[in-house]
A and B are shown apart, each in its own frame.
Chain A
Amino acid sequence: MMIYFLFLQSELFNPDQVLKFADYLYLQADFNSALNEYRRYLFLCDSNKQEVNEKIIDCLVRLKRYDEAIKSADYLSDTTAAVYTKSLIYLLKGDYPIVRELLKNMIDETKSKRLIGLSYAGEFNFLKAKEFIDIPHPLPKHKSPVIGGLFSLFPGGGHFYCQRVGDGIYSMLVITTGSLVSYYCYHQNEKTKFYISLGISIIFYAGNIYGGINAVHNYNYYENEKYREIIFNRGQ
C-alpha cells in the first residue's frame, strides 16, 4: 500500500510539475516555499539549470539571506553572470568596496559601470559616482559644521541652522534661564549658588555647541541618504 501510495505521489513530483508549482509560489510571493520547491526541482533533475539557480538567488535576496545567495551564485554556469549577480548582492547587502573589487576587470562594460556607480553612491561619494552613472541634479545641499558651530555660540543657534526649531527654542530657554539665575545669584552675593548655577550653565552651553555641530552632521547625513534613495530607486 505504501509503495503504491509513493508511486501515486511520484507523478505529482515530476520535475516539470514541481517547477510549475515553484513558479506559482514565486508569483504568490511565498519565497520561502518557492525556494524549497526550486531546490527540490534541482535535486530531482540532478542538474544545474541557470534559470532555476537565478530564481533561487532571487528568492534568497528577497528573503534578505544575502550570504546564502552569494554562495548560490557560485553555482551559476555563466561566470560573467555569476560575477554580476554577486556584485548586485554585495551592493544590496551594503558591502560597497567588494562590488568594485569584483568588477575591477570589467570596468568598461555598461552593467559594471552602473554597479560601480551605485556602489560609490552607496558610500555617499556622489562626485565619483557621477563618472559612472547619470545622477539627478542638483547634488544634495550640505550645511557647514563650522558655521553650525559658530551659530551655536548663540544658544540654540546650531539647531535653528539645521531647521530644528523646537530643539533650538528649548536650548535657548534652558541656557538663558541658567545664565539669568547665575547673574541674579552673583548680584545677591550668594557665592555657592552662583558657582553651581554658573557651572550648570557652562555645561549646558558646551552641550549646546556639541549638539549644534552634531545636528549639522546629522542633517548632512540624512540629505545624503535621501539623495542615495533617489538614485537607487531610479534603477540607475
Chain B
Amino acid sequence: MTFLIIILVFNQHPKETNPVKIVFGAGICVYQKIISPVQGDVCNFYPSCSHFAGEAIEKYGIFWGTLMASDRLMRCNHSAVNYYDTFYSGIKNGKVNDPPENNFILSPIRKPFDIIIEKIE
C-alpha cells in the first residue's frame, strides 16, 4: 500500500525530493483517489480544497501551505457564495473561484478593471 502511494505521488511530482512534501502529497493523493470520489462533489470552491492544499504547499512551502489549506477548510461553507464578487475572484465552473494566488499576505494582487471610456476634452 505504501509503495502504491509513493508511486501515485511520484507519478505527479517526479522531481520532488523533500520528504515532508512527499508525505503531504501522498496524503492528498490518497484523499483525492480513494475518499473524495465516495463523498461526491461537496466543495464550494474552485479549485477544490484538496487541489488548493496541493498547489499552496507546492508554491509557498509546507508551513504557509498548511496554514492556507486549514484557513481554506474553515472558509469552505455555504456563506462563500455571498462574497463571490467582493472577496473572491468571481465564479468558475459553477463554483466560487479562489485560487491560492488570491492571498494578500504572500502575493498581493492587482486585478485589471473596466472603466467607462470618456473622451478627455
Contact = CB atoms under 8 A, between A and B. Distances in A.
A207 B115 contact: no
B71 A61 contact: no
Interface in B91-121: 103-105, 108, 110-113, 115-120
B115 A164 contact: no
A214 B71 contact: yes
A218 B79 contact: no
A170 interface: yes
B121 to A, nearest CB: 9
Interface string A111-123: 1001100000000
Interface of chain A, main secondary structure: helix
B104 A221 contact: yes
B75 interface: yes
A203 B103 CA distance: 18
Nearest to B118: A235
A140 B104 CA distance: 18
Given A213-B105, A214-B103, A204 B79 contact: no
A23 interface: no
Contacts of A174: 73-74
Interface in A64-95: 84, 88, 92, 94
Interface size class of chain B, counting residues whose CB lies under 8 Å from the partner chain: 20 to 34
Nearest to A210: B67
Given A92-B117, A94-B112, A218-B87, A171 B74 contact: yes
B26 to A, nearest CB: 18
Interface stretch (A12-20, A99-107, A129-137, A225-233): A225-233
B83 interface: yes
Nearest to A93: B112
A75 to B, nearest CB: 18
A167 B120 contact: no
Contact of B115 (A115, A211, A233): A233
Contacts of B66: 203, 207
Nearest to B69: A207
B68 interface: yes
B57 to A, nearest CB: 13
Contacts of B111: 225
A213 B108 CA distance: 13
A164 B83 contact: yes
B79 A166 contact: yes
Given A222-B86, A233-B116, 9 more contacts: A88-B120, A92-B117, A164-B87, A165-B79, A166-B80, A207-B66, A207-B73, A219-B87, A232-B115
Interface of B: 66-71, 73-75, 77-80, 82-83, 86-87, 103-105, 108, 110-113, 115-120
26 contacts: A61-B117, A62-B117, A84-B120, A88-B120, A92-B115, A92-B117, A114-B120, A115-B120, A164-B79, A166-B77, A166-B78, A167-B77, A167-B80, A170-B77, A174-B74, A204-B73, A207-B71, A208-B71, A210-B68, A210-B71, A211-B71, A211-B75, A213-B105, A219-B87, A222-B86, A229-B115
